[in-house]
Structure 1
Amino acid sequence: MRLPLVVAFLFFALPAVAQTGTAVTFTTTATAPNNIVVSARGDCGSTLRFNWSRTGNLCNGGNLYFYVTTGTCGSQPAATDLQLDAVTGNTTTTGVLTFTVASVLAKLATPTTCDSQTTEVTFKLCASTPTISDSINLTCSSTYSSVGTPPFQVNYDPEPPSAPSIGDIIARDSALSVQVDNAEADSLVIVELNALTTAGTDDAGTGEVTEGPTLSFRKASSEGNVVADGLINGVTYRVRAKVQDEAGNVSEPSAALEGTPVKSNGLFDAYKNANGQEEGGCSSTGGGLAGGAVLAALGLWLSSRRKVS
């Protein structure tokens, strides 16, 4: 009968298990898939806003720290972290945190600015507090724990993507289909067109070419060619392509190419327009008009769909 007494003694002699006692949930109105907020150079000085709410109790005399770090969550804020707030006691259970990427960059071990930071940097929004060593008296231990579940990550990406290239321009009726190559995956492809007009002549006998207003067409890089429609047949357009990454950075434009929409009636109509014969089956295919018209019409019809460079 003595064995249960020994077991009971050993049970009560064990130290209390350390507990955090509190948990913090962050929310934001910013677009943040998988708790990742992406910021571009143009947003460096814009205010990021996060709401927080807390459940559970803090240990006696312990602070609940809110801070931004390029390291890991789970300690007191360091000198290179941006401290946002410190809450003591169990009265305050909700709040709002605001900061800018610029303020985070200024706290780095090697401080930078929006203009001088040229590479991508990642940091986290953290909440940490001392763990509870005694759950009855809510005594603080010397160990801190991350209590922000889950932490938000902010990616500051100031680098524009590389310029794409135009692989092909296919002429269509009142439209141009533009094949854009070397675009980053998941980027947005932007095709810009300017109608070209000729005014006057110079000494070389060529007109002065001017560009009309910019027309812009967009499509995800994974969705194939960008079709620029609503164009005027017979008018030559100067075509350039850009790409925009997830952070909103826009590349330099591609080299400019030219394309001209053409009215297309199909191959058979092109053959008839070249004085081909509608009837006759397989008879007239020698060196006469019909056979030559078929080849000429085919060449005309295909060349109207090739890239104009």
Structure 2
Amino acid sequence: MARLAFLGLGVMGFPMAGHLAAKGHTVKVYNRTPAKAEAWVARHGGTMAASPAEAAAGADFVMACVGNDDDLRAVCLGETGAFAGMRPGAIFVDHTTVSAKVTRELAAEAAARGLGFVDAPVSGGQAGAENGALSVMCGGDAACYAAAEPVIAAYAKICRRLGESGAGQMAKMCNQIAIAGLVQGLAESLHFAQKAGLSIPELVEVISQGAAGSWQMANRAGTMEQGKFDFGFAVDWMRKDLGICLATANETGASLPVTALVDQFYKDVQKMGGGRWDTSSLIARLRAGG
């Protein structure tokens, strides 16, 4: 069993840290809002820290799941940042979805301090985190990954290293690009079916068994029909991720016309007041005449 720190106890980090404690690891948590850390300790045991550096002191692995590039820099750098508290040879595992640029920047800083760094963004949403069934896409030094993988396994359905630092973030961008177009296609299909007077449950039962089938169809078609959009990954977060995808595409020369279009559709959903709705809410835009 390892000594761990977990930084960031949002809808993903809270259950992920819980799985680590349930596996018998010694876990010290930090959250920008102390009340969440207090609630986590009350439920799972362990201890809480007043700063990332305090949480990281003596830890073998420091896991983070925060909001964006700036949030990640804030928990890593400075006198109270995790890097300041980590011992040489300890490994930082970042589960945040951020840019590959900040990942490489922080990986270089970690290496200069004698620390390991693995970028390990996740997919599977809140349900995946709660059920310990996340897909984890990793980048970084092979030896650091090999050391971290057994710890990550506490909440992973699959975990793979895809290359050097930044490769995990690039893979997560591929994930979000694939989801964006798929959800829009599913929304249009269900909207078309409703206009045609078809039974959505009967339709989905049939077409989900063929080439149109997907995780989104199996898990979201019913709630999309009902207009319920409080299931996990929010539109605000998706737009943050798609912004990273589009900016990176400009740097690499990749063409993402569908992703750019769907990003604007999500912007329309935000204007409808749906920033905290889950990503399947694209159908609400169509129903509103978008």
TM range (shorter): under 0.3
Work out which of the two has the higher radius of gyration on C-alpha atoms and give 1 or 2. Answer: 1
The TM-score, its normalising length taken from structure 1, stands at: 0.23
For CA contacts below 8 A with separation 6 or more, give which structure has more relative contact order: 1
Task: Identify the structure with the greater strand proportion.
Answer: 1
TM-score (norm 2): 0.24
Relative to its length, the structure with more helix (as a share) is 2
